[in-house]
Amino acid sequence: MASNKLRINDIARLAGVSATTVSHIFNKRDKKYRISSHTRQKVLAIAEQYKEQSHIRRYLVKAKSTNTIGVIVPDMSNSFFSMFLHHLEASFREKNIQLLITCSHYNKEVEINVAQNLVERKVDAMIVVTSLDSDEFYMSINQHTPVLFFDRYIEHTTLPFITSEAIGSVAELIEPYAKTLNEFYFIGCDAQLTSIRARLQGFKQGLTNAGLTLASDWIICDSYCPNKGYDLLKRLHQKLGRLPKAIFTPSGNLLQEVLSYLVEVKVNPDQICLCSYDYNIYLDYSYYPIDAIAQDFQTMALICVNTIDDLLNFKTLKHNAIFIKPHIKRHP
């Protein structure tokens, strides 16, 4: 070879086949042109010996790709994840890439198992809403299958992640109400998660901006399970002997559970102020006026697609941490 850079003609010569055959294999046209699996394996084995060269790595990734991306979410019934998956699937479909969507049900062991199953299915990359406390497991996967965290991320991780900005937007959301009230309750779950922690930080910042001093018993948190928001508000109601004047929920499913309790006890909408992270169009028709933060699903989905594309092509990301600005939706 005239230079150290291996070319298709060089691989063809080493494999004893034509350059056209090598090109067909690298571009996944070997079945169309009835190239034998033996020839395919021989060509790829030679390319593997030179995969330290970036262009050869790209050839190998394309030749071995399954055009599938694995996605792990904790709960597909959650409206936020459903809307995100809707936009994500549409964005990848435009590139003829299919999603394999799995659910962890907020269970760490289940998450690890479904991630391993996705690897066994040879997905090209993974987008994960993780419930794990460490990135060690995904760092090992990332050595051969690119991993992108979404929504939640692990503090100090070197893996890329995409999430919505929370601190400033939550502070802006609740500040006008905090200025006119003498109490504001945060009813949330899983405060150890970075996304929830950021929303809690924004809640505290909003109170500070409004000049309202936070009382320790205004923060109501627990581990999440279905109907937890209902249970937390019911217990708070019993403890206070009345309902709180204002509530902020850091997720749409918790808001839904809080609303189910309010409906059950037939609370007058004028008696309570409700704010939440995660807007859904159905809130516009709610009996209770609700101000909410609407995440930009379409932008997040497009950035996920572009980031995965960069990772698969071994491009250096401009930013490992990407925060997407959400919008505040005020009730009429």
Do 191 and 133 lie in one domain? The reply is no
DSSP-derived 3-state class of residue 26:
helix
Whether 179 is covered by a domain: the verdict is yes
Helix, strand or coil, per DSSP, at residue 180: coil
Structure tokens at 76: 């597909």
Per-residue pLDDT of 18-40, as tens digits, reads 988 888 777 777 777 788 888 88
Average pLDDT score, the chain:
92
pLDDT in tens, 159-216: 999 999 999 999 999 999 999 999 999 999 989 889 999 999 999 999 999 999 999 9
Cβ neighbours around 251 below 10 Å, total: 23
**What does the DSSP assignment read for 221-263?**
EE---TTHHHHHHHHHHHHHTS--SEEEESSHHHHHHHHHHHH
Question: How far is residue 239's CA from residue 245's CA, in Å, rounded to a whole number?
Answer: 14
Kindly state whether residues 222 and 117 are assigned to the same domain: no
Residues 269 and 216 in one domain: yes
Higher pLDDT, 20 or 302: 302
Q: Which two tokens stand for residue 181?
A: 């009230």
- The parent domain of residue 202 ranges over 167-294
Same domain, 144 and 28: no
Q: What's residue 141's pLDDT?
A: 96
| Residue 1 within any structural domain of the chain | no
What CATH code is carried by the domain that includes residue 141?
3.40.50.2300
Alpha helices in 34-191 (DSSP H): 37-48, 54-64, 79-93, 108-120, 136-142, 167-178
If one counts the domains in the chain, the total is: 3
Q: Is the dihedral of CA 36, 42, 46, 51 positive or negative?
A: positive
What CATH number should be reported for the domain holding residue 56?
1.10.260.40
Tell me: do 234 and 158 sit in the same domain. Answer: no
* One domain, residues 205 and 288: yes
Is there a single domain that holds both residue 203 and residue 302?
no
Q: Are residue 51 and residue 92 in the same domain, yes or no?
A: no
Contact status, residue 113 vs residue 161, Cβ threshold 8 Å: no
Banded pLDDT at 3 (limits 50, 70, 90): low
